[in-house]
Amino acid sequence: MRERDTRSAARMRRPIEVQYHSPGVLGWRMGRMTDFGWEGARLTGAEALEPEMALEIRFVMPGAEGLDVLKAKVVWSRALRGTPSKHEHGIVFTSAASKVQQTISAAIRYVLQSRKSDEAGAERRRSTRMRRVSEASYHEVGHESTGWRPANVVNLSVHGMQFKTAALLKSGEMIELRLPSADGDQPIVMRGRVVWSQVVPDQNVNYGVEFIAPAPGHEERFEALVQWMTTS
């Protein structure tokens, strides 16, 4: 079987940890499997394996002790570019089809559940961070005597932000925004331009603001805030 044959059989591209060995030749080793389906997979490990070498593979995941150890055969092998200490192998499963389907299906379910858990955790972390910067304040440039007014942040990026407030602002108006910093130190001050507005049911107005520039001395702190907000 050529390299593209094992790739065409793939069902799951995300990696999963496995242990593998060649009976009588190679003891159990840790590896990672990707592009795996009922026919075959890609196996990454530290050893260079010879084509036609017989392998046994078991998955490292909860409940794996109740699954069959799968038999497989190496069909191609190569050193990974830039990491000669790691090798990638194309393998085909040689166990009975029913055993392969049961074991691979369980592995795919585990990877999918893990992915959902990771995404849910990342979303919870992002939501927590948004709540921590949700309370901002602003004032119109040239009207500083009115003081800082409260604003509720809806979303934030390096280019601008959306916030809600009860006050009325004109399209094109220049404002200064004061945002909490990621380190809890002094607030970050940004200057921006109102580019759109939308009345919402809670009697507030949503405003979209395009950032023009941070106040002098606030550039790096604003970049740190955006990185903190967007990193999962």
Residue 110 pLDDT more than 90? no
Please answer whether residues 92 and 6 qualify as being in contact, where contact means their C-beta atoms are separated by less than 8 angstroms.
yes
Backbone dihedral angles phi then psi of residue 216, each to the nearest 5 degrees? -50, 130
pLDDT value at residue 226: 67
Taking only the tens place, the pLDDT of each residue in 52-68 is 999 999 998 887 788 89
pLDDT value at residue 93: 95
pLDDT value at residue 7: 37
pLDDT band, residue 3 (cuts 50/70/90):
very low
Q: Mean per-residue pLDDT for 167-181?
A: 87
Residue with the bigger pLDDT between 153 and 9: it is: 153
Report the distance separating Cα 57 and Cα 19, nearest Å.
6
Q: Tokens 């790739």 map to which residue?
A: 7
Please answer whether residues 96 and 57 qualify as being in contact, where contact means their C-beta atoms are separated by less than 8 angstroms.
no
pLDDT value at residue 95: 95
Q: Mean per-residue pLDDT for 188-195?
A: 89
Q: Mean per-residue pLDDT for 33-61?
A: 91
Domains for the chain: give ranges and CATH numbers.
3-121 (2.40.10.220), 133-230 (2.40.10.220)
Minimum mean pLDDT range among 67-81, 82-96, 211-225: 211-225
- Using a cut of 0.85, tell me whether the model's pTM lies above it: no
pLDDT value at residue 63: 79
Please answer whether residues 163 and 136 qualify as being in contact, where contact means their C-beta atoms are separated by less than 8 angstroms.
yes
Report the distance separating Cα 164 and Cα 19, nearest Å.
53
Report the distance separating Cα 139 and Cα 215, nearest Å.
14
